[in-house]
Amino acid sequence: MVASNTENFVSDLDVPVPSSGKAVVIGQLVNAQDNSPLLTMLYLSVAEVKDDPSLPPKVHFSADTDSTAVQDIDTGQFMFSDVAPGKFAIVVLTPSESFFLQDSAGNILVIDVQADETKDVGVFAIE
């Protein structure tokens, strides 16, 4: 998968120190077959977690207003900067499909972002 919109792709991604009261969210997206960088559009969407843990979170996705990631073309590392504290899900948007990044149990990954932190969500190998 390669995104058709390349304005968010860079070489040598430089992760900044979070702005005061904000956070930076980083991770990496790779192809599960060969560990090559997987380049696509990534969005950080607000997630509402239910009191009942058996229910999935409600994710408020908007391609018009959600933050988009900057992604390193050489490594697949991605970054969302100036993130307000809160709970979020990452939406992966490709030319043929969209989906949420998932945790190791197959649930929608909900990221709890705190002010003044750099949150590393890890490496995601996508088929």
Count: domains in the chain: 1
The confidence score (pLDDT) of residue 58 equals: 95
With respect to residue 40, please indicate whether it lies within any of the assigned structural domains.
yes
**Residues 102/110, Cβ–Cβ less than 8 Å:** no
CATH code at position 107: 2.60.40
Structure tokens at 10: 């860079």
Residue 52 CA, distance from chain mean position: 24
With respect to residue 83, please indicate whether it lies within any of the assigned structural domains.
yes
With respect to residue 4, please indicate whether it lies within any of the assigned structural domains.
no
Which domain does 111 fall in, by range?
22-117
With respect to residue 110, please indicate whether it lies within any of the assigned structural domains.
yes
With respect to residue 105, please indicate whether it lies within any of the assigned structural domains.
yes
How many residues comprise the chain?
127
Q: How many CB atoms lie within 10 A of CB 105?
A: 6
With respect to residue 61, please indicate whether it lies within any of the assigned structural domains.
yes
In terms of pTM, does the model score above 0.85? yes
59-77 per-position pLDDT tens digit: 999 999 999 999 999 999 9
Q: Where are the alpha helices (DSSP H) in 41-110?
A: none
Q: How many CB atoms lie within 10 A of CB 90?
A: 27
pLDDT at 92 over 60: yes
With respect to residue 74, please indicate whether it lies within any of the assigned structural domains.
yes
Give the residue among 6, 125, 1, 16 at the shortest CA–CA distance from 71.
6
With respect to residue 123, please indicate whether it lies within any of the assigned structural domains.
no
39-53 per-position pLDDT tens digit: 999 999 999 998 998
Question: Once rounded to an integer, what is the mean pLDDT over residues 6-14?
Answer: 86
